[in-house]
Amino acid sequence: MIKALVTAFAVLLSVVAFAGEAPGIGGDALLARMAGGDEALVVLDVRTPKEFAEGHVPGAINISHDELEARLLELEADRDRDVVVYCRSGKRTGLALDMLEKAGFKRLYHLEGDYLGWTAASRPVETAPAR
């Protein structure tokens, strides 16, 4: 039991450590880049398809954090673009950022405030189904 708790704590620390290393991008800065048609930008929502369908950042693609490793090839064309990652509140974002970094992605960003912050600021939301 103690070994399991120590392992879980170590995993949590590694997630928090990486999430702290990925530069953040604020919602307003992301909106400005989206409005300008920034071709170097990819927004990745790592929540579940159900959460995504209920509302997401406009133009985001959805790959749930627990499917990301198996679906990394879908992002291969985006390897040299700025990948902005978010989830509901940050935990899954950290897991996804760690996985993407280990897969060789270098231009990774964490959406500050994640989806809760995005909606709290009354920023635009799409409700189309997951792609």
The packing angle between helices 91-102 and 2-21, to 10°, is: 80
**Tokens 């270098």 correspond to what residue?**
106
**Tokens 């500050």 correspond to what residue?**
112
Q: From residue 5, how far is each of 10, 17, 26 by CA, in Å?
A: 9, 18, 34
- Known catalytic membership, residue 87: yes
C-beta neighbour count of 121 within 10 angstroms: 12
| Phi and psi at residue 91, to the nearest 5° | -60, -50
CA–CA separation, 7 and 13 (whole Å): 10
> Looking at residue 56, what DSSP letter applies?
B
| Catalytic residue (choose from 87, 95, 96, 108) | 87
Instruction: Give the residue numbers annotated as catalytic, written as ranges.
Output: 87
